Amino acid sequence: MAAVSGKIVQNVLIAQCCQKNRQFSTQSKRDCYAPTGRNLLSSQGGKLACSGISTMQLRNLSKFDRATVYCNAAPSATAPPSLEKVDFIKLQNGSDIRGVAVAGVEGEPVNLTEPVTEAIAAAFAAWLLEKKKPDASSCLRVSIGHDSRISAQKLQDAVSRGLAGAGLDVIQYGLASTPAMFNSTLTESDEFLCPVDGAIMITASHLPYNRNGFKFFTNAGGLGKPDIKDILERAANIYNNFTVEGLIDAEKKLH
């Protein structure tokens, strides 16, 4: 996640993330970190595990090591968040969520902003907590992957804030395939932080470059149309309670 150069990330849990390619039966490992996140909606403490591609280069560290790590990422160029009116239901595309994430195409205003994305992620967290019903001693875990679209990084960061703010642990797999993200809910490996309780793939499939969206998974498979409608309705309510000051503060807490 983007951070000011030299900023310290404390209480870091080093881990490895794993993606499986079912077709070729191969694995790729990445060094990751999991700083303790904030606790806004429950007694669970959300942690964030990132792939280290954009922010850190970590090598030869056990997943049980704890350390103070210095970020080498550049400051975020993202503009201050704004809270324009959004029709969340229009973001539904069957069993997916799709929207315009990049400006520049005439007649296609951006409606998949970072605040909208954060609200959707928080809504998925609430939906997942309701379905899984974890006890007080456990914390649900969600993995995030994305394709190569230019809006992927900012949406991944916003998804991470929404999930961690709801008290869930987050594992960022970075560039990944949709089957790999579903597989992260099935693979049984403590070493690779699997299985996760839910997974989000940031993608818009074949749509133009300015679009992006989300696919959601549990170990039962992809979410259906009624589930997506439920999540978007929850997201609309969450979004309506956002403030610009609160969004800026949330970004600072997870950097």
More confident residue, 152 or 36: 152
H or E segment to which residue 15 belongs: strand 8-21
pLDDT computed for residue 32 by the predictor: 36
Q: Which residue ranges make up each domain of the chain?
A: 79-253
Fold of 79-253: Alpha-D-Glucose-1,6-Bisphosphate; Chain A, domain 3 (3.40.120)
Share of the chain above pLDDT 70, in %: 66
pLDDT tier for residue 119 given thresholds of 50, 70 and 90: very high
In this structure, of 61-75, 83-97, 204-218, the range with the lowest mean pLDDT score is: 61-75
176-200 residue pLDDT tens:
999 999 999 999 988 778 999 999 9
pLDDT computed for residue 156 by the predictor: 97
**How far is residue 255's CA from residue 102's CA, in Å, rounded to a whole number?**
23
Q: Tell me which residue of 229, 247, 244, 250 sits closest to 123, measured CA to CA.
A: 229
Omega of the bond leading into 208 within 30 degrees of 0 (cis): no
pLDDT computed for residue 81 by the predictor: 65
Q: What is the mean pLDDT of residues 146-160?
A: 97
- Whether 31 shows a pLDDT value over 80: the answer reads no
**Contact assessment for residue 185 and residue 196, using Cβ atoms and an 8 Å cutoff:** yes
Is position 151 annotated as part of the catalytic site? no
Query: Of 5, 82, 138, 205, which one is the catalytic site residue?
Result: 205
Token pair, residue 140, equals 């649900």
Q: What is the mean pLDDT of residues 112-131?
A: 97
More confident residue, 84 or 43: 84
Mean pLDDT of the chain: 75
- Whether 58 shows a pLDDT value over 80: the answer reads no
- Whether 253 shows a pLDDT value over 60: the answer reads yes
DSSP 79: P
Q: What is the mean pLDDT of residues 9-37?
A: 33
**Contact assessment for residue 5 and residue 56, using Cβ atoms and an 8 Å cutoff:** no
Beta strands 48-49 and 26-35: pairing type?
A: unpaired
In this structure, of 97-111, 141-155, 188-202, the range with the lowest mean pLDDT score is: 188-202
H or E segment to which residue 174 belongs: strand 169-175
**Contact assessment for residue 181 and residue 201, using Cβ atoms and an 8 Å cutoff:** yes
Residue 38 buriedness (CB in 10 A; 0-12 / 13-18 / 19+): middle
* First and final C-alpha spacing in the chain: 7
pLDDT computed for residue 154 by the predictor: 97
